[in-house]
Amino acid sequence: GSELVVVEPEAEVVREVFSGYLRLRSLKELGMFLGAVGRRSRRGKRLSKQTLAWILRNETYVGRIVYGSVRARGRHRAIVDRRTFARVARLLAANDKRRSLGV
């Protein structure tokens, strides 16, 4: 099979999304911040809350391959460390729970 290759300028944006979410603690705030500093998708569009949530939940960035219910260690280099990924996952879950409670 073919191996995933890290494209460093895109990897830097992904790392910025993770660190920004931990700092701002809000997808909306993160989207506004990234828009203000000129970060865009590959197609030149603003990064939506849905896109940011997808990035933050994407295990590919932590070096895993996911296919259906199967999760395996990939042969590609992780661009986000496991600790950061886990911290983001906990914050996303806490924010989802607060939102569902109307807080």
pLDDT, tens digit, for every residue of 9-58?
899 999 999 999 999 999 999 999 999 999 988 889 999 999 999 999 99
Q: Over range 83-102, report the average pLDDT.
A: 89
Q: Which residues contact 21 (CB under 8 A, 6 or more apart)?
A: 27, 30, 52, 56, 88, 91
Residue 54 DSSP SS3: helix
* Model confidence at 81: pLDDT above 60: yes
* Model confidence at 103: pLDDT above 60: no
Q: Which residues contact 23 (CB under 8 A, 6 or more apart)?
A: none
Distance CA 2, CA 11 (A): 19
CB atoms within 10 A of CB 90: 10
Q: Mean pLDDT, the chain, as a whole number?
A: 92
The burial class, CB within 10 Å (0-12 / 13-18 / 19+), for 54 is: exposed
| Category of 48 on φ-ψ map: left (φ > 0), alpha (ψ -120 to 50) or beta | beta
Task: Give Dmax over CA atoms of the chain in angstroms.
Answer: 46
Q: Over range 82-98, report the average pLDDT.
A: 94
Distance CA 20, CA 39 (A): 12
- pLDDT at 3 (0 to 100): 79
